[in-house]
Amino acid sequence: MSNEVPEIIDLDFILSRYENTDIVVLSQEFVPCSNIFALKLSVTIDAYPFDGTKVVNYFVKLCKQDTNIDIRTDYIARFQKEIYFYQLAIPAITNFQRDRCIRAMPYYNLFPKCIGARLNIDREKTVPDETAVLILEELKEQGYQCENTNRDCSLQDYTVILTTLAYMHAVPLAMRTHQLDSFKSNVLPSLLDIKQHNKIPHWFDNIYDMVYQVFKFNDAISPYFQSIKTAIEKSKKYTLFGKPFTCDCWITLCHSNFSKLNLMMKCECIYRGKSIKILDNQTLEYSHCCNDLIFFLFTSVNSNLLNSHYDFLVCWYYDFFVYTLTKYEIDVRPYTVNNFYKELKIQGPRMILQILRALPYITNDMYDEDKEPVLGMEYIQKLGMNL
């Protein structure tokens, strides 16, 4: 696909259906972005009851293409999953909340509002093509900002994020318990696994180079090199081949890439605190809730703060997770704090490789001319803490 983005076909129809009125699109203008498959769209429209024309902005995601390969099933599957999430999963989970007479915290509020979505201009086809599009609200205009620096986050900010994460996990788990058929029909399509690699990915070869970076600055962990290597090799096997879960108590809708890069935060009025929006929902999984928690803590929380408040943050997530389950009348006897810490101990080593792979991209402030992340001291500190 070239850097020139084509106009969205039938945008009038998509916006008219969302606004429930007749809208005429007069012009479409895409704001330049480093990623041509996720960009800002500025639209000039004419519609009743507006007085004259009006300019509205949206965030648009297109189905990613590979210029060297005609068909990339992983790109197609991820885009399809995100469409299903907005069209099927979120409405179904929100309806489940209404059925349980719980309206205080609607599930759809955790994510950007979906203006419209399409897999294919031909409605009989379900495979995304170049006409596929996902249109979301533009969050920056509403005061949301990316939480991409540790300097901006306080302990209170992290508790807000972990409350959101616990809620994202607990409500689908409750729905699975009370409305299994609806969960299977509406939520599972956005959680299906994407085909695994047939061979070891090339980035596996760089893992030990990353570890050596830490040894240069932290002699204290040098004696543990062999133990670290063994843990990484075990994590490789889990990453490549997985391991079926023997109990689904802790299995639910998971983000799988829950980091500060995929969050936007808005400071509400003094009485309401801050609100969070979760972004990039194309890699959702039906997996262990501890995986998202571990990934966020060890990739996105300030290293010094995590070192001094690890148990506090873990317990904060756990308490709200269990509290939410009780609100949905779930038997919480299996969800003891001791069982939770046992699960963390099991899942932690399995997450090592995923965390090591993500750290360079989450902690860096810039990229070199080859588009590789430039590693800094934050990366060194976090990698040392993880190891």
Instruction: Dump pLDDT digits (tens) for 210-234.
Output: 676 666 666 666 666 677 777 777 7
Which is nearest to 41 in space by CA: 52, 33, 49? 33
Which pLDDT belongs to residue 46? 85
Crossing angle of helices 155-178 and 289-300, rounded to 10°? 170
The topology under which CATH files domain 144-386 is Aminoglycoside 3'-phosphotransferase; Chain: A, domain 2 (3.90.1200)
pLDDT one-digit tens code per residue, 374-386:
666 677 677 766 6
Contacts of 9 (CB under 8 A, 6+ apart): 121, 131
Name the band, by pLDDT with cuts 50, 70 and 90, for residue 195.
low
pLDDT one-digit tens code per residue, 105-131:
999 999 999 999 999 998 888 888 889
Round to whole Å and give the CA distance between 172 and 170.
6
Which pLDDT belongs to residue 387? 62
Pick the residue with more confidence: 199 or 16?
A: 16
The answer to whether 5 touches 39, Cβ cutoff 8 Å, is yes
| Residue count (the chain) | 387
Domain ranges of the chain: 11-62, 144-386
Instruction: Specify the pTM.
Output: 0.88
Percent of the chain clearing pLDDT 90 (strictly above): 50
CA angle 204, 207, 208 (to 5 degrees): 125
Name the band, by pLDDT with cuts 50, 70 and 90, for residue 51.
low
Pick the residue with more confidence: 359 or 287?
A: 287
Which pLDDT belongs to residue 150? 46
The topology under which CATH files domain 11-62 is SH3 type barrels. (2.30.30)
pLDDT above 90: residue 354: no
Which is nearest to 53 in space by CA: 62, 44, 42? 44
